[in-house]
Amino acid sequence: MLKPQTTPTLIADALRDDISRGVLQPGAALRQEALAARFAVSRIPIRDALQKLESEGIVTLVPNRGAYVATLTIVEVQEIFYLRQLVEVDLIGQAVPLLDATALQTIRESAKLAEQLSSKPDWLMGDRAFHQALYLPANRPRQLELAMSLRSEVERYEAIYRKLPKNRLDWTREHAGLLDACARGDVTAARSQLSAHLDHAAAFLIEQIVEQDPLQSRAGR
């Protein structure tokens, strides 16, 4: 429960967290009256928060119908991961030559946290922290912000679908490979392993979307 003086930014943060953890699933309606009651505010900050989330691609505002948690098609997922490949693989390539002992220790700690959270509802927090630690040494804040924004667009789906034990094991194993490449200062291996890691994430996500809506498989061809 948030206080009446809650700002639209804090409301947006709370809703973003609910969406990323799968509490609010894709396509779910976001009724302004219910949200105003939940946060004990008027509808004005709710409206502003929803507009902020729409600008991030997390919420869809439909005239005369209301707000909904955004959904993604397979084509949109493919485009997002194409952009992630361009942005994130370049980031790690820029970061590895600049890694020092402190940065490597941060990556190791983040990898450990991600592994600890891999079977828990907050696993996305560990995954995001690990990838941020990989990219921060590149010292490219705008590119990093873009990378995290693109991740946000698919995280809400991953929160719902990434439940298979085998997938979690593959995920942590790939993190270990990335950590090893960084520790060796091997730019080529780091770029290659990250690219494969993103490919696997995209394929898994598309597979789950098709299971939920088999007709989408035609759109992705």
- CA atoms of 92 and 194, how far apart (whole Å): 8
Which domain range does residue 140 map to?
A: 74-219
In order along the chain (221 residues), what is the average pLDDT of each group of 10 residues? 67 87 84 94 93 88 91 90 98 98 96 86 84 97 94 75 63 93 97 96 85 64 52
- CA atoms of 169 and 148, how far apart (whole Å): 23
Query: Per the domain annotation, does 107 fall within a domain?
Result: yes
Based on the domain organization, do 32 and 80 belong to the same domain?
A: no
Task: Report the CATH number at residue 65.
Answer: 1.10.10.10
pLDDT per residue over 152-162, tens digit each? 888 767 666 55
Based on the domain organization, do 117 and 152 belong to the same domain?
A: yes
Task: Report the CATH number at residue 155.
Answer: 1.20.120.530
